[in-house]
Structure 1
Amino acid sequence: MTDIREKTVPYGTVSSLKEALESAERIGYPVNVRAFFPLGGHKSGVADVRKELIDFVTSVSAHSPKLELIIDKSLNGWKKIAYEVVRDQYDNCIVVCNMENIDPLSLRTGESIVVAPSQTLSSDEYNLLRSVSIKVVRYLRIIGACNVQFALNPLCIEYYIIKVTSGLSCSSTFVSKATGYPLGYITAKLALGMSLVTLKNSITNQTCAWFEPSLDYVTIKVPKLVIKNFIRRSDGSKISSKL
C-alpha cells in the first residue's frame, strides 16, 4: 500500500521487552499486543500505557520459552467501513455498495450489526473512501468482486486500510440481497474474460453490470447469536464467545 501512498495499521514484531517498548513508543499508545499465532485470543491484550505493556510482556515471557509478539496500533472505538468493488480485466471499476458496522471496530463483523449503505459518513468521507477503494483494487489488479475495509476515526478524517478480500466474501451475500446486484454471477463471468460494459444484470435483465446500484432505502444485517454460548467475562482482546 505504500506504493500508492495509502496507510495500513502501524505494527512491529518484537522478541524482547526493550523492543516492545521501543515499538510502542514509535506507534503510539494504546497498542494491541498479541503472541504469534494465538489461539482464541490467548496471550493477547491492549496496553494503554507503558506500565501495562511491561506487565503484559513480563507475564507472557514467564510462560513462553520464546518471546515473539506483534504490536500494532489500537483502533478500538473507530468506525468500521467497507466497500464492495467490482473490476474487470479492462480496468472498469464500480462500487456496488458500502457498509458500516453500527458497533465500533473492536467487535468482529460476524457479531456486529451492519447497515448498507453507511449512515454516519459525511459526503467528503464517503467519496474519499470510495476513491481509495477503487485505487486499491486497481493497484492489486483484482478481477471480480473485492471487499475493502477501513478503520475511520470518528473525530476527524483519518483512516487506515485494515483488510482487502478478493473474490466473494462473507459480505457478498448481504450486498447482493441489499442491492439486487448478482455478485456471484458477475464475478464468474468476469473471470471468463467478459466486460462489465457488455454484461447484463441477471436479476433486472435491463441494466448492464456497469451500472452502480442507487439505494433509496436502508438494509440491516443483524447477527443471530446463541446467548447461552457466551462466557460472562471481559479479557481485553480475547475472544470469549463460541458461535
Structure 2
Amino acid sequence: MPKRNDIQKILVIGAGPIIIGQACEFDYSGTQACKVLKSEGYTVVLVNSNPATIMTDPETAHRTYVEPVTAETVAAILAKERPDALLPTLGGQTGLNTTVELNRMGVLDAYNVELIGADLDVIRKAEDRGLFHQAMARIGLEMARSSIATDMEEARAAAADIGFPVIIRPAFTLGGTGGGVAYNPEELETIAASGLEASIIGQIQVEASILGWKEFELEVMRDKKDNVVIVCSIENLDPMGVHTGDSITVAPVQTLTDRQYQRMRDAAMAVMREIGVETGGSNVQFAVNPRDGRMLVVEMNPRVSRSSALASKATGFPIAKIAALLAVGYTLDEIPNDITGRTMAAFEPALDYCVVKIPRFAFEKFP
C-alpha cells in the first residue's frame, strides 16, 4: 500500500524529561521518526517537555512545542494546530497514557484527530493487565497465575490466595514504576499502594513469583498485510526479578534450542495478531523455566521501548523509522532496507555476531 495522502499534518508526542520510568532511549526513536515523516512530505508538529534532546532541535520537526507532556497541554496544541493524525507510540508510556486521557476527555473526537501507529483498542488490550490476560487465554498462551486488583482489599486477598512472594505489576506504567516483589504482607502494603497510585486506571496485577526464570524479549513488527518480522531476539543475563531495562542483555538469544526459539517466535506473532498491532513495532517478553523449558508470556508493549533502541543498534534495522512509515500506510515489503540497499524491510535481520548491553547506573546523580 502506498503512503496515505488523506493526512497532511501529524502531531508526534515526545517522551518528556529523562527521569527513571519515563524517557529512556525514546529521543533516539522519536528523532528517527520525525525526520522520516518530514521526508515523506508530512507536516510534523512535536510536543516534548525536554529541551535537551535532539528531537527538539529546530530541524527535526516543522513546529516544536517545549511544553509539559500532559493531556491538558496536548489538548491545547491540538486545538491550535488541528493535525489530521496523532502518533503516540514514540513517546513511550507517557505518549500512550496521554493519548488514553485525551480520548477520555473527548478531545480526539472533538477535533477529529485520528490515531496512527496504535489505536485505543490496541493500547487498552496491551496495557490493561486484565484484558491482556484474557487475550492470551483466547490464543492458548500461558501466563503466570495472577489476579487483578483495583484496591488494597483485593490486593491482600489475591496475595493470600496465590501465596508469597508475589510480583506487583501496575497497568499503564513504564520501567517497573510502582511495581516490585512483595515477600510478606508488610511489603505488599507498601508496593501495592505504590502500584495503585502509579497506574492511571488504578489497577495492579498480583502475580505468582517466577523469580529465577530466564527472561527473553522479541522485537516484532507487523503491517496491514499481516507481514510479521522478528527484528531481534534478546536474552537477559539476569533472571526474572531484575527489570529488563536494568539487566545485562545479549542479542541474539544464547540458551534456547531452535525448537524453543521457533515456539517463542510463533507465540510472539500470535500475540501481535490477537492484540491487533498492525502498523508498527512491539516488544513481547517471555519467561522460561530453566528446569523444564515451560514458557510463559510476561507482557507486551505496543510501542517503541528501551529494547527497541538496543535492537536497532544491534541489527541496523531502524525500528522507529520503519514504525513511522508503517503508521502512514506503507507495508514492510515496500520499505527498503537501509543496510543492504537491495532487500526490503520484510526480510528479517540475521546476526552472525553478538551484542551485549551493560547498564550504567549513574550513582553520582542518584546516590
TM-score normalised per structure 1: 0.76
Residue-by-residue CA offset, 1:199-233 (whole Å, 9 max, x unaligned): 2112332111111111111001111113456xxxx
In structure 2, the partner of 1:127 is: 262
In structure 1, the partner of 2:240 is: 105
The answer as to whether partners of 2:165 and 2:181 remain within 8 angstroms in 1 is: no
1:1-243 matches, cutoff 5 A: 1-12=136-147, 13=149, 15-16=152-153, 20=156, 23-24=158-159, 26-27=161-162, 30-32=165-167, 45-47=181-183, 52-53=184-185, 71-142=206-277, 143-227=279-363, 242=366
Secondary structure of the residue that 2:306 maps to in structure 1? coil
Taking a change above 3 Å as real, the CA distance of residues 157 and 204 of structure 1, as seen in their structure-2 partners, is same
The answer as to whether partners of 1:30 and 1:46 remain within 8 angstroms in 2 is: yes
* Identity fraction in percent: 35
Paired with 1:139 and 1:46, the residues of 2 have a C-alpha distance of: 31
Greater RCO structure (CA 8 Å; 6+ sep): 1
**1:159 Cα offset (Å):** 2.2
Paired with 1:214 and 1:130, the residues of 2 have a C-alpha distance of: 14
Structure 2 residues not aligned, in runs of 5+: 1-135, 194-202
Paired with 2:225 and 2:168, the residues of 1 have a C-alpha distance of: 42
Residue-by-residue CA offset, 1:99-123 (whole Å, 9 max, x unaligned): 0110111111222111000111122
Structure 1 residues not aligned, in runs of 5+: 230-241
Taking a change above 3 Å as real, the CA distance of residues 150 and 56 of structure 1, as seen in their structure-2 partners, is same
Paired with 1:180 and 1:112, the residues of 2 have a C-alpha distance of: 22
Point out the structure with the larger helix share: 2
In structure 1, the partner of 2:200 is: none
**1:45 Cα offset (Å):** 4.6
**1:76 Cα offset (Å):** 1.0
Taking a change above 3 Å as real, the CA distance of residues 181 and 158 of structure 1, as seen in their structure-2 partners, is same
One-letter amino acid matched to 1:220:
V
Taking a change above 3 Å as real, the CA distance of residues 126 and 36 of structure 1, as seen in their structure-2 partners, is closer
Residue-by-residue CA offset, 1:11-66 (whole Å, 9 max, x unaligned): 2237559x846x456535543368999x9769x6533xxxx44x666x77xx9xxx
Taking a change above 3 Å as real, the CA distance of residues 162 and 28 of structure 1, as seen in their structure-2 partners, is same
The answer as to whether partners of 1:150 and 1:162 remain within 8 angstroms in 2 is: yes
Equivalent pairs counted in the alignment come to 217
The answer as to whether partners of 1:167 and 1:187 remain within 8 angstroms in 2 is: no
One-letter amino acid matched to 2:273:
R
The answer as to whether partners of 1:20 and 1:71 remain within 8 angstroms in 2 is: no
In structure 1, the partner of 2:53 is: none
Taking a change above 3 Å as real, the CA distance of residues 110 and 16 of structure 1, as seen in their structure-2 partners, is closer
In structure 1, the partner of 2:34 is: none
* 191-200 vs 211-220, greater mean Cα deviation: 191-200
